[in-house]
Amino acid sequence: MPHGGPRTNGEVPRTTPPSRTALLPDICYTLRRKVTAFLEQPSDDQLVRATQAQARVAMGVIEEALQSYTHDQISLAYNGGKDCLVLLVEAFVAASTRTYHLDLERYALPMRAALDAYIRDRPAVRAVFMGTRRTDPHSEFLGHFSPTDGDWPRIMRVNPLLDWRYAEIWSFIRGLEVGFCCLYDRGFSSLGGLNNTRPNPALALDGEGKRFRPAYELVRDEEERLGRDR
C-alpha cells in the first residue's frame, strides 16, 4: 500500500472498535485530538494533503449544520455497510454503536419507508448527516446541504463528504486508525445487499478470484463498485 495510515510490525490497524466502552466526553475528546493531529501533520504525500483539505471542508459543513440545527433536530444515517454478509456487518454495527454511544434506531423497511417511519418516531429531526459522495449513484448534482427530492419525507440531507475521493476516505480512516468492518480487509470495496455484493475483481490476487487485496489498496474511483452486481 503506497499511501494510508501507520502500520505496526507490518500489520494494518485493528478493524474493530475496542471492546471496553469509554465515556462519551472521552470519546469526543479523543476523536477531536486525533482529527486535529491529522490536520496539523506535515506531509509531502499528495494524498494525505488532499485528505486534510477535504477534512477541513467537511468540518466546516458539520459546523454549519450544528449552528443551523439544534441537537435534537439533527441525526446521522449509519448502517455499517448495509446488509452484506449480515452477521459480520451486524457485529460491527453493534460494536461501533456501543463505542460511540449511538442511539440507534433500526427499520426493516425500504429506504423511503424507513425514513418516513423514523421521522414519525423522531418528529423533531430536521436534518440528517449522510456519508454520500458525488460518485454514488444519483448523487452528482447534490450540494453539501440538499433537501430530499419529490415525494420523499421532507428533511435536509447534510453531506460533509460529498467531494471526497475513494482513496481520501481510506487515507482518513487509516490515518486516524478508525475501526472498520472486516469485510473491507477481504476485498470488498462497496457493501450493498446480500445477493448483489462480492469481492472487487480489481483487487484479486489470483486468476481464480479466491484471494484479494484489502479495499484500501484500490486507487481508481471508477473501480469502487465493480463488486456490486447491477
pLDDT at 18 over 80: no
- Name the least confident of 48-52, 79-83, 111-115, 160-164: 79-83
CB contact at 8 A, 202 and 226: yes
pLDDT at 201 over 80: yes
**What pTM value is reported for the model?**
0.81
Cα angle 28, 34, 40; round to 5: 130
Q: Given pLDDT bands bounded at 50, 70 and 90, which one contains residue 220?
A: very high
Phi-psi region of 178 (alpha: psi -120 to 50; beta: other; left: phi over 0): beta
Say yes or no: domain 24-158 is CATH 3.40.50.10470.
Answer: no
**Beta-strand relationship, 74-76 and 127-129:** parallel
Higher pLDDT, residue 52 or 15: 52
Question: Residue by residue, what is the 3-state secondary structure of 167-191?
Answer: HHHHHHHHHCCCCCCHHHHHCCCCC
162-191: pLDDT as tens digits = 999 999 999 999 999 988 888 899 999 998
88-102 mean pLDDT: 83
What's residue 179's pLDDT?
A: 86
Q: Which grid coordinates are listed for 78?
A: 449509519
57-76: pLDDT as tens digits = 999 999 999 999 998 999 98
pLDDT at 10 over 80: no
pLDDT at 156 over 50: yes
What's residue 86's pLDDT?
A: 58
CA dihedral 214, 217, 219, 223 (to 10 degrees): -20
What's residue 87's pLDDT?
A: 64
**Residue spans per domain, the chain:** 24-158, 181-230
Element (H, E) at 49: helix 46-68
What's residue 83's pLDDT?
A: 34
